[in-house]
Amino acid sequence: MFLALAAGVFLSLASAGCKSSSTAPANPLSNIVVTNVCGASVILYADGAEKTTLETGSLATLSSVTPGSRLLEAKKADDGFLVYSETLTIPPSTTNYVTIRGGASIRVTNQSGRILRIYLDDTVVGDIGDQITLTISKVPFGSLTYQAKTLNDATVVSEFTATVTDFSEFTWTITP
């Protein structure tokens, strides 16, 4: 009996210090990491409130974001043109990633009689066969020059410069 009483006292004392494990996370707030590759400086807004200016080619972290539905918008800093708008569902205690890209496109039609390689600033965009049309999407803002070169000796066959200020579609036809 003494042993049973001592065990009961020990269990009572031990359970008095236990805490429930069903408590909420210490910090349910989240983060949104935004990368800007749209070609222009933008002002970021979350739920209509201005948060920061983000230069092209850089990123920013919006910290301590309350979980739930959040409207994230980006407007060009120079003229207020809306380049990004999305309602994000933010779970608690997470880091969420968003990339702001340009929205223009270029429809390229190759009528040169040969397969060509398309370049932007010496970076290969892709190859295009003869009598084929392809679309280059998410073209960033700014003045961009594309080149079509032969595959064997990289001779420039055609050049196309687009000055992107909005979400327009440009057309480039490559002829012999």
- Would you say residue 1 lies in a domain? no
Verify that 115 and 154 share a domain, yes or no.
yes
Q: What is the CATH number of the domain that holds 150?
A: 2.60.40.10
Q: What pLDDT sits at residue 27?
A: 73
Question: Which residue, 76, 100, 124, sits at the end of a domain?
Answer: 100
If you search the block for the tokens 């490559």, which residue do you land on? Answer: 174
Strands, E assignment, the chain: 30-36, 42-46, 49-54, 58-65, 68-76, 82-90, 95-100, 104-110, 116-120, 123-128, 132-139, 142-150, 156-164, 169-174
Can you tell me the distance from the alpha carbon of 173 to that of 136, in angstroms, rounded to the nearest whole number?
A: 13
What's the domain count of the chain?
A: 2
Verify that 41 and 86 share a domain, yes or no.
yes
Domain that holds residue 129: 104-174
Verify that 30 and 86 share a domain, yes or no.
yes
Question: Which residue, 71, 100, 129, sits at the end of a domain?
Answer: 100
pLDDT in tens for each of the 176 residues of the chain?
A: 444 434 444 444 444 444 544 555 567 999 999 999 999 999 999 999 999 999 999 999 999 999 999 999 999 999 999 999 999 999 999 999 999 998 899 999 999 999 999 999 889 999 999 999 999 999 999 999 999 999 999 999 999 999 998 899 999 999 98
What pTM was computed for the model?
0.70
- Would you say residue 5 lies in a domain? no
Is the Cβ–Cβ distance between 144 and 123 less than 8 Å?
Answer: no
